[in-house]
Amino acid sequence: MDISKYLMETKIDANSHEPMYLQIARSIAQRIIDNTLPKGTKLPPERELCNYFGVSRTTAINAYRWLEQEGLVVTKVGSGTYVKENTNQQSNTLQVPWSQLFIPYPQTPMTSILKELVSTPYASEIISLATGMPDPTSYPLTIFHNLFKERFPTANPADFGYIPTEGYQPLREYLVELLNEQGIATTADRTMILSGSQQGLYLTSKVLLERGDYVIVQSPTYIGAIQIFQTIGARMLILPGEQSLNLDILEDYLIRYRPKLFYLISTFNNPTGQVLTEQERKDLLRLAARHRLVILEDDPYSQLYYEEKPPLALKAWDTNESVIYMGTFSKTLAPGLRTGYLTGHPALINRLSLEKQYVDLHSNNFSQWLLYLYLREGYYSEHLKFIRVLYKKRRDSLVKAIRRYLGDHISFDVPEGGFYLWCKLKSGSSARLLQEAIKCGVFFVPGQAFYTVPSEENEFRLCFATHPEAVLVEGIKRLTTAFDHIHKSKPKTIDNNPLKPIV
């Protein structure tokens, strides 16, 4: 190889206190060590070295001599000077420096919270009220078992080969019926299967957003959405309000920033439980139409209502195709199915599928085959009725336990659906409470995880879906113990001991 270009780049300073031969030698040594000059490379003859650097023959000879003494080159008489074959033996045994190889990543304390939440939902020794996981004992595994037992032998083997990226066609078509029942008019070519609705959020962000783009989010909102928008480098505009949608702020954002997307959990928002009223939905759609706003409506919870049936999805009134709608079976059937779905404009479905092919080619066929049968046989609506009763009781038990044991410390609104109780400490920080709670064998998600900006420190989320009522009550008792520990360890203030003399 021609190494002259590397040598040409080397700057020699005649005024340096370092001898010229040493400057030259060190420069070459550097390139041997960093492998720019690999083992066996023939170095230029001394007279060429003189020419390159405009130095005397002696300087060139001394440079090579130094390299030879350092064990980096070897001189073969009558042939020339070569980079030594075993020079790199040491670096050969060096491990690849993996931690330095990755592209920059916006690391925050919340970077892996989602990952941690899905990793530890059901540990036995500690009661997790953190993860938004439906109770495993509620999964319709018996029906799944029957479907596997009775239908699998007559399944078409090709259904377990490669299938279209958009999804297993019978399931796509059946989902259209399910969506129609929920007031959403759509078609199979507007509907695709996802490996969980998390994937819909990921893919939609990937095709619509670039670094620096504006996205509107409710505040607080789903952790996984915040993380994706952060990773892409989108700028989040927050729409505060736990009970109603502030359309004035929204319109101001629309005019001022021209945001690319509004990510929204319209029904039983995670974590607040907020439900948009029918009027708010219609007003929002009008605003969206006027400003050509694209709305990503994430709807994992609307079927989990415990009082009145909530209003129809935004998508049900979406005559302008402003809305991308996502649903999932993770909260109603079992997270392990990893099956969600998305409905929107065909151009969007087409583009999302192009991206999805890179991510996983298509979603899991076993789940899609099973879900299609499960839905078609009509099991779903019965199951929904069953879990609505189950989770309503759990919500009520949790509420009752908190009012009984912690009523003085915690305030909340009772959510009309979903999985979560959004709690506010009357004093103190939820992060401090969590520290103590973990020692007492219970944990939850501190409120800050659901915000894009520093927030009140007194909020936290409890999930009432995962555990039976008795465990929920035990969890609250443990939380009460945590409160006691905090208050005991608090240095007594004068106000607490009004009779103690001031010293």
Closer residue to a second copy (CB): 310 or 475:
475
- Give the shortest CB-62-to-a second copy separation in angstroms: 27
Assess 227 for contact with a second copy (CB under 8 A). yes
Return the structure tokens found at 194.
């996802």
CB of 136 to a second copy, least distance (A): 4
Cα separation, 376 vs 339, in Å, equals 16
State yes or no: residue 9 binds a second copy (CB under 8 A): no
| Per CB under 8 A, 56 contacts a second copy | no
Binders of a second copy among residues 93 to 112 (CB under 8 A) are 93-99, 101-103, 105, 111-112
Are residues 453 and 442 in contact, defined by beta-carbon separation less than 8 angstroms? Answer: no
Residue that the structure tokens 């400490």 belong to: 425
The contact pattern for a second copy, residues 74-93, with x = CB under 8 A and - = no contact, is --------------x--xxx
* Using rule CB under 8 A, residue 292 touches a second copy: yes
Does 392 participate in binding a second copy (rule CB under 8 A)?
no
Least distance in Å: CB of 477 to a second copy?
23
Least separation in angstroms between CB 224 and a second copy: 7
d(CA 374, CA 336): 15
Residue 92: how many other CB atoms lie within 10 Å: 9
- Which range of residues in 31-39, 378-386, 448-456, 469-477 is near a second copy by CB under 8 A? 31-39
Amino acid at 475: G
**Candidates 235-243, 317-325, 414-422, 477-485 — which segment interacts with a second copy by CB under 8 A?**
317-325
DSSP for 87-156 reads TTHHHHTSPP-GGGTSPP----TTTTHHHHHHHSSS-SSSEE--S----GGGS-HHHHHHHHHHHGGGS-
362 belongs to the binding site for a second copy (CB under 8 A): yes
Shortest distance in whole angstroms from residue 108 CB to a second copy: 11
Pairs from 141-150 (Cβ < 8 Å, separation ≥ 24): 141/334, 143/374, 143/379, 144/370, 144/374, 147/370, 147/373, 147/374, 147/377, 148/370
DSSP string, 58-77: HHHHHHHHHHHHTTSEEEET
353 binds a second copy (CB under 8 A): yes
Residues between 186 and 205 that touch a second copy (CB under 8 A): 195-196, 198-199, 202
Euclidean distance between CA atoms 138 and 44, whole angstroms: 76
State the Cα–Cα distance between residues 91 and 421, nearest whole angstrom: 56
Contacts with a second copy: how many residues (CB under 8 A)? 104
Task: Pick out residues in 109-168 that bind a second copy (CB under 8 A).
Answer: 111-112, 114-115, 117-119, 121-122, 131, 133-134, 136-137, 139, 141-142, 144-145, 148-149, 152-153, 155-165
Could you tell me which stretch among 66-74, 176-184, 222-230, 474-482 binds a second copy (CB under 8 A)?
A: 222-230
**Exposure class string for 212-223: b at 16+ Cβ within 10 A, else e:** ebbbbbbbbbbb
